[in-house]
Amino acid sequence: MRLCVIGVGQAGGRVADLFAQYNAKEWSKHGNLVPVSIAINTAKSDLMGLKAIPKANRVLIGQTNVKGHGTGTDNELGARLMKEEMHNINRALSVLGTHYIDAFLVIAGLGGGTGSGGAPILVRYLKEAHEDPVYALGILPAKDEGKLMTFNAARSLLALQESADSVIIFDNESWKREGTSVAESYNHMNSLIVSPFGYLLGGGESDSGSSVGVKVVDAGDIINSLGGLASIGYAEREVDGGFSLFNGKSDSMDRLDTSTLCHSVIKSATAPGSLTAQCDIKDAERALVLVSGPPKYLDREGIERARKFLEDAVWGTEVRGGDYPMPRSKSIVGIVVLSGLINVPRVKEILEDAAATQKTVDKREKKRKEMDDLSEYKGKLKPLNLKSGEAA
Protein backbone atom coordinates (compact mmCIF):
# COMPACT_ATOMS: atom_id res chain seq x y z
CA MET A 1 0.00 0.00 0.00
CA ARG A 2 1.34 3.43 -0.94
CA LEU A 3 0.55 6.59 1.00
CA CYS A 4 0.69 10.30 0.39
CA VAL A 5 1.62 11.57 3.86
CA ILE A 6 0.87 15.19 4.72
CA GLY A 7 1.96 16.63 8.07
CA VAL A 8 0.15 19.77 9.24
CA GLY A 9 1.61 21.90 12.02
CA GLN A 10 4.62 21.20 14.22
CA ALA A 11 3.70 17.73 15.51
CA GLY A 12 2.23 16.64 12.18
CA GLY A 13 5.31 17.80 10.30
CA ARG A 14 7.68 15.95 12.62
CA VAL A 15 5.79 12.68 12.29
CA ALA A 16 5.49 13.08 8.51
CA ASP A 17 9.25 13.68 8.43
CA LEU A 18 9.76 10.39 10.27
CA PHE A 19 7.62 8.65 7.67
CA ALA A 20 9.94 10.04 5.00
CA GLN A 21 13.03 8.94 6.96
CA TYR A 22 11.70 5.43 7.53
CA ASN A 23 10.66 5.19 3.88
CA ALA A 24 14.18 6.03 2.73
CA LYS A 25 16.03 3.77 5.18
CA GLU A 26 14.00 1.29 7.24
CA TRP A 27 11.32 0.55 4.63
CA SER A 28 13.38 0.69 1.43
CA LYS A 29 13.41 -3.11 1.22
CA HIS A 30 9.61 -3.07 0.98
CA GLY A 31 9.56 -0.60 -1.89
CA ASN A 32 8.54 3.04 -2.03
CA LEU A 33 5.71 2.94 0.51
CA VAL A 34 5.49 6.72 0.96
CA PRO A 35 6.20 8.14 -2.51
CA VAL A 36 4.83 11.58 -1.52
CA SER A 37 5.51 13.37 1.77
CA ILE A 38 4.59 17.00 2.43
CA ALA A 39 4.81 19.31 5.45
CA ILE A 40 2.51 22.33 5.86
CA ASN A 41 3.04 24.92 8.57
CA THR A 42 2.62 28.55 9.53
CA ALA A 43 5.93 28.53 11.42
CA LYS A 44 8.99 28.79 9.18
CA SER A 45 11.40 27.49 11.85
CA ASP A 46 9.46 24.22 12.20
CA LEU A 47 9.72 23.57 8.47
CA MET A 48 13.44 24.37 8.48
CA GLY A 49 14.02 21.82 11.24
CA LEU A 50 12.78 18.86 9.18
CA LYS A 51 15.34 16.36 7.91
CA ALA A 52 13.87 14.05 5.28
CA ILE A 53 11.00 15.83 3.56
CA PRO A 54 12.44 17.65 0.52
CA LYS A 55 12.52 21.44 0.85
CA ALA A 56 10.35 21.75 -2.24
CA ASN A 57 7.66 19.76 -0.37
CA ARG A 58 7.56 22.11 2.64
CA VAL A 59 4.71 24.58 2.29
CA LEU A 60 4.69 27.73 4.41
CA ILE A 61 1.23 29.27 4.66
CA GLY A 62 -0.09 32.46 6.26
CA GLN A 63 3.00 34.60 5.68
CA THR A 64 0.92 37.73 5.19
CA ASN A 65 -0.91 37.22 8.48
CA VAL A 66 1.54 35.61 10.90
CA LYS A 67 4.88 36.39 9.20
CA GLY A 68 6.12 32.82 9.54
CA HIS A 69 5.80 32.80 13.33
CA GLY A 70 2.90 30.34 13.77
CA THR A 71 -0.68 30.74 14.95
CA GLY A 72 -0.06 30.81 18.71
CA THR A 73 -2.38 27.85 19.40
CA ASP A 74 -5.28 29.66 17.69
CA ASN A 75 -6.98 26.88 15.74
CA GLU A 76 -9.60 29.18 14.22
CA LEU A 77 -6.75 31.15 12.68
CA GLY A 78 -5.16 27.87 11.54
CA ALA A 79 -8.39 26.88 9.79
CA ARG A 80 -8.74 30.26 8.10
CA LEU A 81 -5.17 30.30 6.82
CA MET A 82 -5.55 26.77 5.43
CA LYS A 83 -8.69 27.81 3.55
CA GLU A 84 -7.06 30.94 2.17
CA GLU A 85 -3.98 29.13 0.87
CA MET A 86 -5.43 25.84 -0.34
CA HIS A 87 -4.40 26.82 -3.87
CA ASN A 88 -0.72 26.64 -2.86
CA ILE A 89 -1.19 23.18 -1.39
CA ASN A 90 -3.11 22.03 -4.43
CA ARG A 91 -0.27 23.29 -6.63
CA ALA A 92 2.27 21.28 -4.60
CA LEU A 93 0.17 18.12 -4.89
CA SER A 94 -0.27 18.64 -8.63
CA VAL A 95 3.48 18.96 -9.16
CA LEU A 96 4.26 15.84 -7.11
CA GLY A 97 1.45 13.75 -8.58
CA THR A 98 -0.79 11.44 -6.59
CA HIS A 99 -2.11 9.08 -9.27
CA TYR A 100 -0.02 6.15 -8.01
CA ILE A 101 -0.99 6.28 -4.33
CA ASP A 102 -3.64 4.19 -2.58
CA ALA A 103 -4.62 6.67 0.15
CA PHE A 104 -3.86 9.98 1.85
CA LEU A 105 -2.76 10.21 5.48
CA VAL A 106 -3.07 13.67 7.07
CA ILE A 107 -1.15 13.89 10.35
CA ALA A 108 -1.66 16.60 12.98
CA GLY A 109 -1.32 17.31 16.65
CA LEU A 110 -4.88 18.16 17.64
CA GLY A 111 -4.03 20.50 20.51
CA GLY A 112 -2.18 23.25 18.66
CA GLY A 113 -3.27 25.89 16.18
CA THR A 114 -2.09 25.11 12.66
CA GLY A 115 -2.60 21.33 12.81
CA SER A 116 -5.75 21.41 14.92
CA GLY A 117 -7.47 23.99 12.75
CA GLY A 118 -5.90 23.25 9.38
CA ALA A 119 -6.07 19.45 9.23
CA PRO A 120 -9.90 19.19 9.06
CA ILE A 121 -9.97 21.79 6.26
CA LEU A 122 -7.32 19.88 4.30
CA VAL A 123 -9.05 16.52 4.80
CA ARG A 124 -12.32 17.95 3.53
CA TYR A 125 -10.61 19.36 0.44
CA LEU A 126 -8.83 16.07 -0.33
CA LYS A 127 -12.12 14.18 0.00
CA GLU A 128 -13.78 16.49 -2.48
CA ALA A 129 -10.88 16.51 -4.97
CA HIS A 130 -9.77 12.86 -4.94
CA GLU A 131 -11.36 9.42 -5.03
CA ASP A 132 -8.72 7.76 -2.84
CA PRO A 133 -9.47 7.28 0.88
CA VAL A 134 -8.38 10.10 3.18
CA TYR A 135 -7.29 9.10 6.68
CA ALA A 136 -6.32 11.34 9.58
CA LEU A 137 -3.76 10.50 12.26
CA GLY A 138 -4.70 12.68 15.21
CA ILE A 139 -2.30 13.11 18.13
CA LEU A 140 -4.15 13.88 21.35
CA PRO A 141 -2.51 16.23 23.88
CA ALA A 142 -1.48 14.96 27.30
CA LYS A 143 -3.45 16.14 30.34
CA ASP A 144 -0.68 18.46 31.54
CA GLU A 145 -0.71 20.41 28.26
CA GLY A 146 -3.59 22.56 29.48
CA LYS A 147 -7.27 23.34 28.91
CA LEU A 148 -6.71 25.24 25.67
CA MET A 149 -5.00 22.24 24.09
CA THR A 150 -7.83 19.98 25.27
CA PHE A 151 -10.47 22.36 23.91
CA ASN A 152 -8.70 22.57 20.54
CA ALA A 153 -8.39 18.79 20.37
CA ALA A 154 -12.10 18.26 20.99
CA ARG A 155 -13.13 20.69 18.26
CA SER A 156 -10.60 19.31 15.78
CA LEU A 157 -11.51 15.72 16.51
CA LEU A 158 -15.21 16.31 15.90
CA ALA A 159 -14.43 18.10 12.63
CA LEU A 160 -12.12 15.30 11.45
CA GLN A 161 -14.73 12.65 12.19
CA GLU A 162 -17.16 14.45 9.90
CA SER A 163 -14.84 14.37 6.89
CA ALA A 164 -12.11 11.69 7.18
CA ASP A 165 -12.67 8.06 6.17
CA SER A 166 -11.05 7.12 9.47
CA VAL A 167 -9.33 8.93 12.34
CA ILE A 168 -6.46 6.97 13.86
CA ILE A 169 -5.89 8.13 17.43
CA PHE A 170 -2.52 8.41 19.16
CA ASP A 171 -2.79 9.42 22.81
CA ASN A 172 0.22 11.31 24.17
CA GLU A 173 -1.06 10.76 27.71
CA SER A 174 -0.59 6.99 27.42
CA TRP A 175 2.91 7.18 25.98
CA LYS A 176 4.61 9.88 28.02
CA ARG A 177 7.96 8.75 29.43
CA GLU A 178 8.66 9.93 32.94
CA GLY A 179 12.21 10.99 33.75
CA THR A 180 13.08 12.05 30.20
CA SER A 181 13.31 15.45 28.54
CA VAL A 182 10.38 16.77 26.53
CA ALA A 183 12.37 16.32 23.31
CA GLU A 184 13.33 12.73 24.16
CA SER A 185 9.79 11.89 25.15
CA TYR A 186 8.31 13.27 21.93
CA ASN A 187 10.93 11.57 19.76
CA HIS A 188 10.05 8.26 21.43
CA MET A 189 6.32 8.78 20.91
CA ASN A 190 6.81 9.79 17.30
CA SER A 191 8.74 6.58 16.63
CA LEU A 192 5.94 4.54 18.18
CA ILE A 193 3.44 6.22 15.87
CA VAL A 194 5.40 5.39 12.72
CA SER A 195 6.81 1.90 13.43
CA PRO A 196 3.66 -0.19 12.80
CA PHE A 197 2.99 1.40 9.42
CA GLY A 198 6.03 -0.20 7.78
CA TYR A 199 4.55 -3.65 8.31
CA LEU A 200 1.01 -2.63 7.36
CA LEU A 201 2.04 -0.81 4.20
CA GLY A 202 4.68 -3.35 3.18
CA GLY A 203 2.54 -6.44 3.71
CA GLY A 204 1.13 -6.49 0.19
CA GLU A 205 4.16 -5.04 -1.58
CA SER A 206 6.53 -8.05 -1.64
CA ASP A 207 8.31 -8.45 -4.97
CA SER A 208 8.67 -11.71 -6.87
CA GLY A 209 11.96 -12.50 -5.17
CA SER A 210 10.58 -12.24 -1.65
CA SER A 211 8.86 -14.85 0.44
CA VAL A 212 5.12 -14.93 -0.11
CA GLY A 213 2.87 -14.98 2.91
CA VAL A 214 0.35 -17.66 3.76
CA LYS A 215 -2.36 -14.96 3.54
CA VAL A 216 -1.30 -11.63 2.06
CA VAL A 217 -2.75 -8.45 3.59
CA ASP A 218 -3.07 -6.03 0.69
CA ALA A 219 -4.15 -2.41 0.30
CA GLY A 220 -7.79 -3.44 -0.09
CA ASP A 221 -7.74 -5.27 3.25
CA ILE A 222 -6.34 -2.21 5.04
CA ILE A 223 -8.79 0.17 3.37
CA ASN A 224 -11.75 -2.07 4.21
CA SER A 225 -10.58 -2.43 7.81
CA LEU A 226 -10.43 1.29 8.56
CA GLY A 227 -13.44 3.42 9.43
CA GLY A 228 -14.49 5.80 12.19
CA LEU A 229 -12.20 6.11 15.20
CA ALA A 230 -9.29 3.66 15.10
CA SER A 231 -6.46 2.46 17.31
CA ILE A 232 -3.40 0.42 16.29
CA GLY A 233 -1.79 -2.23 18.49
CA TYR A 234 1.86 -3.20 18.09
CA ALA A 235 3.98 -5.85 19.81
CA GLU A 236 7.47 -7.01 18.85
CA ARG A 237 9.42 -9.92 20.32
CA GLU A 238 12.81 -11.28 19.52
CA VAL A 239 12.52 -14.86 18.38
CA ASP A 240 15.53 -15.98 20.41
CA GLY A 241 15.12 -13.86 23.54
CA GLY A 242 11.53 -12.90 24.08
CA PHE A 243 11.95 -9.13 24.33
CA SER A 244 8.77 -7.08 23.97
CA LEU A 245 9.43 -3.61 22.57
CA PHE A 246 6.34 -1.89 23.91
CA ASN A 247 5.05 -3.44 27.09
CA GLY A 248 8.33 -4.65 28.56
CA LYS A 249 7.14 -8.22 29.16
CA SER A 250 9.18 -11.23 28.20
CA ASP A 251 8.34 -14.80 27.33
CA SER A 252 10.53 -17.75 26.55
CA MET A 253 9.99 -18.08 22.81
CA ASP A 254 11.86 -21.36 22.60
CA ARG A 255 9.15 -22.96 24.73
CA LEU A 256 6.38 -21.90 22.40
CA ASP A 257 5.44 -23.73 19.22
CA THR A 258 4.99 -21.53 16.14
CA SER A 259 1.20 -21.66 16.31
CA THR A 260 1.14 -20.44 19.90
CA LEU A 261 3.79 -17.83 19.12
CA CYS A 262 1.71 -16.18 16.39
CA HIS A 263 -1.35 -16.22 18.61
CA SER A 264 0.59 -14.88 21.61
CA VAL A 265 2.11 -11.86 19.85
CA ILE A 266 -1.31 -10.74 18.61
CA LYS A 267 -2.77 -11.01 22.11
CA SER A 268 0.11 -8.85 23.32
CA ALA A 269 -0.67 -6.26 20.62
CA THR A 270 -4.19 -5.85 22.05
CA ALA A 271 -3.07 -5.64 25.68
CA PRO A 272 -3.12 -2.38 27.69
CA GLY A 273 0.05 -0.45 26.92
CA SER A 274 0.32 -1.70 23.33
CA LEU A 275 -2.42 0.34 21.64
CA THR A 276 -1.97 3.86 20.26
CA ALA A 277 -5.13 4.76 22.17
CA GLN A 278 -6.41 2.59 24.99
CA CYS A 279 -9.85 1.14 24.35
CA ASP A 280 -12.03 -1.87 24.95
CA ILE A 281 -11.40 -4.08 21.92
CA LYS A 282 -14.94 -5.44 22.29
CA ASP A 283 -16.18 -2.10 20.94
CA ALA A 284 -14.44 -2.50 17.56
CA GLU A 285 -16.70 -2.77 14.54
CA ARG A 286 -13.87 -3.91 12.24
CA ALA A 287 -10.40 -5.31 12.79
CA LEU A 288 -7.28 -6.46 11.01
CA VAL A 289 -4.51 -8.72 12.28
CA LEU A 290 -1.02 -9.04 10.78
CA VAL A 291 1.85 -11.25 11.93
CA SER A 292 5.33 -10.58 10.52
CA GLY A 293 8.70 -12.25 10.98
CA PRO A 294 10.94 -15.06 9.70
CA PRO A 295 8.91 -17.41 7.45
CA LYS A 296 9.63 -20.49 9.58
CA TYR A 297 7.76 -18.91 12.48
CA LEU A 298 4.69 -17.88 10.49
CA ASP A 299 2.35 -20.77 11.05
CA ARG A 300 -0.97 -21.00 9.16
CA GLU A 301 -2.76 -22.44 12.18
CA GLY A 302 -1.32 -19.77 14.46
CA ILE A 303 -2.34 -16.93 12.16
CA GLU A 304 -5.86 -18.35 11.95
CA ARG A 305 -5.93 -18.69 15.76
CA ALA A 306 -4.88 -15.06 16.05
CA ARG A 307 -7.59 -13.95 13.65
CA LYS A 308 -10.19 -16.10 15.44
CA PHE A 309 -9.13 -14.62 18.79
CA LEU A 310 -9.80 -11.14 17.46
CA GLU A 311 -13.04 -12.21 15.78
CA ASP A 312 -14.33 -13.56 19.08
CA ALA A 313 -13.19 -10.45 20.96
CA VAL A 314 -14.77 -7.69 18.84
CA TRP A 315 -18.49 -7.20 18.32
CA GLY A 316 -18.19 -6.62 14.58
CA THR A 317 -17.99 -9.38 11.98
CA GLU A 318 -15.37 -7.88 9.64
CA VAL A 319 -12.04 -9.27 10.81
CA ARG A 320 -9.26 -9.67 8.25
CA GLY A 321 -5.90 -11.25 8.82
CA GLY A 322 -2.67 -12.38 7.24
CA ASP A 323 1.09 -12.56 7.50
CA TYR A 324 4.11 -10.75 6.13
CA PRO A 325 7.28 -12.88 5.81
CA MET A 326 10.56 -11.06 6.50
CA PRO A 327 13.40 -13.61 6.11
CA ARG A 328 16.10 -11.39 7.66
CA SER A 329 14.07 -10.33 10.67
CA LYS A 330 15.02 -11.51 14.15
CA SER A 331 11.65 -10.68 15.63
CA ILE A 332 8.03 -11.69 15.46
CA VAL A 333 5.79 -8.64 15.13
CA GLY A 334 2.06 -8.48 15.76
CA ILE A 335 -0.05 -5.63 14.37
CA VAL A 336 -3.72 -5.13 15.17
CA VAL A 337 -5.98 -2.45 13.69
CA LEU A 338 -9.22 -1.78 15.59
CA SER A 339 -11.72 0.59 13.98
CA GLY A 340 -15.27 1.80 14.29
CA LEU A 341 -14.56 2.37 17.99
CA ILE A 342 -17.28 3.90 20.12
CA ASN A 343 -15.79 3.94 23.60
CA VAL A 344 -12.28 5.45 23.64
CA PRO A 345 -11.83 6.66 27.25
CA ARG A 346 -9.32 9.42 26.48
CA VAL A 347 -11.49 10.78 23.65
CA LYS A 348 -14.51 10.79 25.94
CA GLU A 349 -12.51 12.58 28.64
CA ILE A 350 -11.31 15.26 26.20
CA LEU A 351 -14.83 15.87 24.88
CA GLU A 352 -16.25 16.14 28.41
CA ASP A 353 -13.49 18.52 29.56
CA ALA A 354 -13.99 20.66 26.46
CA ALA A 355 -17.77 20.75 27.03
CA ALA A 356 -17.17 21.96 30.60
CA THR A 357 -14.78 24.62 29.32
CA GLN A 358 -17.34 25.73 26.72
CA LYS A 359 -19.99 26.00 29.44
CA THR A 360 -17.71 28.27 31.47
CA VAL A 361 -16.95 30.38 28.40
CA ASP A 362 -20.66 30.70 27.62
CA LYS A 363 -21.38 31.91 31.19
CA ARG A 364 -18.65 34.53 30.97
CA GLU A 365 -19.94 35.69 27.58
CA LYS A 366 -23.44 35.99 29.01
CA LYS A 367 -22.16 38.14 31.89
CA ARG A 368 -20.11 40.24 29.49
CA LYS A 369 -23.17 40.80 27.33
CA GLU A 370 -25.17 41.85 30.38
CA MET A 371 -22.49 44.41 31.23
CA ASP A 372 -22.47 45.62 27.63
CA ASP A 373 -26.23 46.08 27.84
CA LEU A 374 -25.79 48.20 30.98
CA SER A 375 -23.29 50.35 29.13
CA GLU A 376 -26.11 51.49 26.84
CA TYR A 377 -27.40 53.61 29.70
CA LYS A 378 -24.18 55.58 29.99
CA GLY A 379 -24.86 59.08 28.90
CA LYS A 380 -28.57 58.65 29.51
CA LEU A 381 -28.32 58.74 33.30
CA LYS A 382 -26.82 61.44 35.45
CA PRO A 383 -23.69 60.39 37.35
CA LEU A 384 -23.74 60.26 41.12
CA ASN A 385 -22.63 63.25 43.04
CA LEU A 386 -20.04 61.54 45.16
CA LYS A 387 -19.99 64.32 47.70
CA SER A 388 -23.68 64.30 48.53
CA GLY A 389 -24.52 60.75 47.50
CA GLU A 390 -27.25 62.10 45.28
CA ALA A 391 -27.52 62.30 41.53
CA ALA A 392 -25.87 65.38 40.12
The pLDDT tens digits for 338-363 are 999 998 999 999 999 999 989 888 88
Domain end call among 161, 185, 202? 202
Per-residue model confidence (pLDDT) at position 60: 96
The CATH number assigned to the domain holding 275 equals 3.30.1330.20
Model confidence at 209: pLDDT above 70: no
Q: Is residue 216 included in any domain, yes or no?
A: no
H or E, element range at 107: strand 103-109
How many other CB atoms are found less than 10 A from the CB of residue 172? 23
Q: What share of the chain is helix, strand, coil (3-state, %, to 5)?
A: 45, 20, 30
Report how far apart, in Å, the C-alpha atoms of 264 and of each of 50, 82, 241, 303, 316 are: 38, 45, 15, 10, 22
What radius of gyration, in Å, describes the C-alpha atoms of the chain? 24
Whether residues 198 and 249 share a domain: the answer is: no
H or E, element range at 207: none
**Structural domain span for residue 234:** 227-341
Tens of pLDDT, residue by residue over 276-319, are: 999 999 999 999 999 999 988 888 888 899 999 999 999 988 99
Whether residues 170 and 89 share a domain: the answer is: yes
Pairing of strands 390-391, 134-140: unpaired
Q: Is residue 152 included in any domain, yes or no?
A: yes
Work out how many domains the chain is built from and give that number. 2
More confident residue, 388 or 153: 153
The pLDDT of 117-130, averaged and rounded, is 96
Domain end call among 157, 187, 202? 202
Cα separation, 116 vs 302, in Å, equals 41
